[in-house]
Structure 1
């Protein structure tokens, strides 16, 4: 069932983005009286799952879910229709239109992507507001388990006060900045310590087994008792919070392992909170220093706030306010993604090792249906699609824009033969990138 929920969100998001992107090309093409021969969701290699001709355009759904396309008459694109290009230009063809009209047609797709992302962020701000955790309320620092961070000098209990010399005020702000961090300023028991990340920090993080960063320290919440546990028959319920053992307060989950390692094979008195009321139970620590209890990760942030772990900041926005908030979020995300993309194309950062394909995108979606999560992910993917399509690779919109700008500046139009060869080169580059990204997914799945 979880797979069906994830795949449904994945396909709905991608289909929406592809159709709207291609609609961004389709609408200006029709406005400028340019013939659009095909409008397809997914690729129709050899055959289509569905197609219907309306007017001069065939609308359809292909079987290969690697994107979509509009086939505009008189344009050298992925269809490589050289037969049509060999004929005399017709007034309704793309190549017969003024350069400025062709430029608008080519920029239509990415324009829609960016407008869509901005609108989603605006409406999300209005519908959901913003919920975050104030870093100033995190009194006992973060939980650090990643060997990469530990080797750099970080440890559990450190507070992150600045990244790249910019103060962090919210937990989500810290998380988004960490992956491109060059310096991380920590507060350890009132003393500041700055660690410098290696140039290939993102690459090491992507390939390491532990992907955690500075995680929230949370209590030990009971999910269920293992069938093989010595405590199987004890009255424990999902949601019980273990607060101490033998009258020693244990506030955080990360404190249990070292404490229990000293009590192997012993019976202990465990203090719990059940529905915020204290109760005690006698449990047995096994010979490995374990209680045989699975921790529960489904507790909401509001519960942790009520227990005094941190402060949840919630902001509601009017419709007018949400416009500015959404625009700010859009700007923040596009700058962040562009920064990540620059790192990916710099071999020294090793960031290319973390590039993923369709499985990586699929894994972003949650196991349960959440419209808030769905729209947030869709907005980010829309930005990603827009930025990637602007790359100056001939087979992408950015490649066509590059040649059109050359034509507008020099007054000379690249020849059809040159454009055919450029399109072929661009197509092979795209295939190589797709194979690399999805190959990374396969490699990680096998060797993780």
Structure 2
């Protein structure tokens, strides 16, 4: 439960940062071109808001746990006081003149932005005057365009207002990557230094790999690190692999549908580095503590089997759940043994030392100036890699692996780690920028598509068309959100 809460808090904090700054991108360009921003909210606020604030006559006014400000409109009436109806028999709405609004009514001060925090933590929004979006419909756009509205601006001013959010998210990712490189540097394990070889999933084993192999080349090209293997095999569809096995080089040929098999088997960690089982910490009251094991002990055998690699030992213990096992271990050069009863899930109750404690990693430190171009390069390469991976979404097995908030939350570690948190926030910022730029109604890319149409034809799409497109887009996005989060729920229930 504790790990779930830590992941949830990391997810909420990360998405809050990204959404607020994304919307600020729209806000900044709107204000640059003197377009009014009616509302700026972190999280959504159906019916009421946790906090809302607005500057009135030079002073801030605050409301807590209050109902939302109603729209500044009323049914239009004719000279006889009868309501005016449109062609569908619905009342035609008109704006209430500011002179008729009571003093202190927030609607009387439309030139100031209403800031707030909603109660539904699924995003946020920036409501720009004169723009058909999810915060308003066509009845609120019936009046003539006003000088302070989005729709009165040229296409060359509206375009940066729309792409401002995507631009901020991408720049933010590069800033975060630069800061991470400056603060922590970059460290990874070159595959050639994998002292104990690699650990492979069942799909890999079924296709000729053996635990302990070292991957030398993929389609004739050397691979530097694990991420390169994942991209070349799953995304690029490379099939010819050369591995080092003992003192021999072995050629392996993968099937054309290998990536689909991996996705179907949900083998995320299908290539891992093998490392020895050296105890870091012993949990109080655990089987390990009761058996006398200590920090620094190196396990070298289970029930008479000579096993020293972490993955092999874990696999052996899983076959001996809730039973007594003989543990052989080395302490300060001395071979010792202990009889320990494992837990119901085959655990000792210990944490293991860093995987690469006795393996040479490659580490690069960055000064402040050097970290900036390095962060930009890393951000661009991450975007390129994600775009290449995106094609898997349109495959049969790839679509089944789409996940929602649960899957995103699992990307964060169970224990709070600021380096990983900022790395994941930068990665999510890249994803948010890319996904928002897709030409789908309701997303920024959809509005860009309308603007390109206007540039080519010289005509604006009608407000009625924009409203229908917006409704369709929001329906599709809602359906997608239900699907991906439904996938998470299904996996949580049936894939235990």
TM-score by length of 1: 0.86
Go from structure 1 to structure 2 and tell me whether the alpha carbon gap of 1:47 and 1:258 turns closer, same or farther (over 3 Å shift): closer
Provide structure 2 residue ranges, at least 5 long, that are not aligned to the other structure. Answer: 56-110
| Equivalent residue number for residue 475 of structure 2 | 428
Go from structure 1 to structure 2 and tell me whether the alpha carbon gap of 1:165 and 1:400 turns closer, same or farther (over 3 Å shift): farther
Go from structure 1 to structure 2 and tell me whether the alpha carbon gap of 1:267 and 1:32 turns closer, same or farther (over 3 Å shift): closer
Deviation at 1:428?
0.9
1:161·1:187 contact (CA, 8 Å) conserved in 2?
yes
Go from structure 1 to structure 2 and tell me whether the alpha carbon gap of 1:126 and 1:207 turns closer, same or farther (over 3 Å shift): same
Q: How does 1:106-121 map to 2 (within 5 A)?
A: 106-121=162-177
| Equivalent residue number for residue 69 of structure 2 | none
2:291·2:340 contact (CA, 8 Å) conserved in 1?
no
Give the match's secondary structure for 1:53: strand
Range with bigger deviation, 52-61 or 42-51 = 52-61
Range with bigger deviation, 220-229 or 64-73 = 220-229
Residue 192 of structure 1 pairs with residue 250 of structure 2: yes
2:328·2:338 contact (CA, 8 Å) conserved in 1?
yes
| Equivalent residue number for residue 33 of structure 1 | 34
Provide the C-alpha distance between the structure 1 equivalents of 2:54 and 2:314, rounded to a whole number of angstroms.
66
1:25·1:109 contact (CA, 8 Å) conserved in 2?
yes
Residue 90 of structure 1 pairs with residue 146 of structure 2: yes
1:17·1:382 contact (CA, 8 Å) conserved in 2?
yes
Deviation at 1:243?
3.2
Residue 339 of structure 1 pairs with residue 388 of structure 2: yes
| Equivalent residue number for residue 328 of structure 2 | 270
Deviation at 1:173?
4.0
Go from structure 1 to structure 2 and tell me whether the alpha carbon gap of 1:72 and 1:187 turns closer, same or farther (over 3 Å shift): same
* Residue of structure 2 aligned with 1:214, choices 264, 271, 279: 271
Q: Specify the structure having the higher radius of gyration (Cα).
A: 2
Deviation at 1:44?
1.1
Go from structure 1 to structure 2 and tell me whether the alpha carbon gap of 1:281 and 1:267 turns closer, same or farther (over 3 Å shift): farther
Provide the C-alpha distance between the structure 1 equivalents of 2:456 and 2:408, rounded to a whole number of angstroms.
39
Give the match's secondary structure for 2:173: helix
| Equivalent residue number for residue 313 of structure 1 | 362
| Equivalent residue number for residue 152 of structure 1 | 207
Go from structure 1 to structure 2 and tell me whether the alpha carbon gap of 1:437 and 1:327 turns closer, same or farther (over 3 Å shift): same
Deviation at 1:413?
1.2
Deviation at 1:37?
0.5
1:239·1:296 contact (CA, 8 Å) conserved in 2?
no
Deviation at 1:342?
2.0
Go from structure 1 to structure 2 and tell me whether the alpha carbon gap of 1:255 and 1:82 turns closer, same or farther (over 3 Å shift): closer
* Residue of structure 2 aligned with 1:60, choices 106, 112, 116: 116
Deviation at 1:435?
0.8
Provide the C-alpha distance between the structure 1 equivalents of 2:324 and 2:466, rounded to a whole number of angstroms.
77
Provide the C-alpha distance between the structure 1 equivalents of 2:493 and 2:315, rounded to a whole number of angstroms.
33
TM-score by length of 2: 0.79
Q: How many residues align?
A: 430
Give the match's secondary structure for 1:84: helix
| Equivalent residue number for residue 334 of structure 2 | 279
Go from structure 1 to structure 2 and tell me whether the alpha carbon gap of 1:257 and 1:269 turns closer, same or farther (over 3 Å shift): closer
Deviation at 1:402?
0.5
Provide the C-alpha distance between the structure 2 equivalents of 1:402 and 1:26, rounded to a whole number of angstroms.
20
| Equivalent residue number for residue 367 of structure 1 | 414
| Equivalent residue number for residue 71 of structure 2 | none
Range with bigger deviation, 46-55 or 392-401 = 46-55
Provide the C-alpha distance between the structure 2 equivalents of 1:122 and 1:160, rounded to a whole number of angstroms.
31
2:302·2:327 contact (CA, 8 Å) conserved in 1?
yes
| Equivalent residue number for residue 253 of structure 1 | 310
Go from structure 1 to structure 2 and tell me whether the alpha carbon gap of 1:439 and 1:247 turns closer, same or farther (over 3 Å shift): closer
Go from structure 1 to structure 2 and tell me whether the alpha carbon gap of 1:163 and 1:435 turns closer, same or farther (over 3 Å shift): farther
* Residue of structure 2 aligned with 1:136, choices 192, 203, 210: 192
Provide the C-alpha distance between the structure 2 equivalents of 1:238 and 1:166, rounded to a whole number of angstroms.
41
Provide structure 1 residue ranges, at least 5 long, that are not aligned to the other structure. Answer: none
Give the match's secondary structure for 2:242: strand
Provide the C-alpha distance between the structure 2 equivalents of 1:266 and 1:235, rounded to a whole number of angstroms.
14
Provide the C-alpha distance between the structure 1 equivalents of 2:42 and 2:282, rounded to a whole number of angstroms.
45
1:271·1:278 contact (CA, 8 Å) conserved in 2?
no
| Equivalent residue number for residue 168 of structure 1 | 223
Go from structure 1 to structure 2 and tell me whether the alpha carbon gap of 1:260 and 1:420 turns closer, same or farther (over 3 Å shift): closer
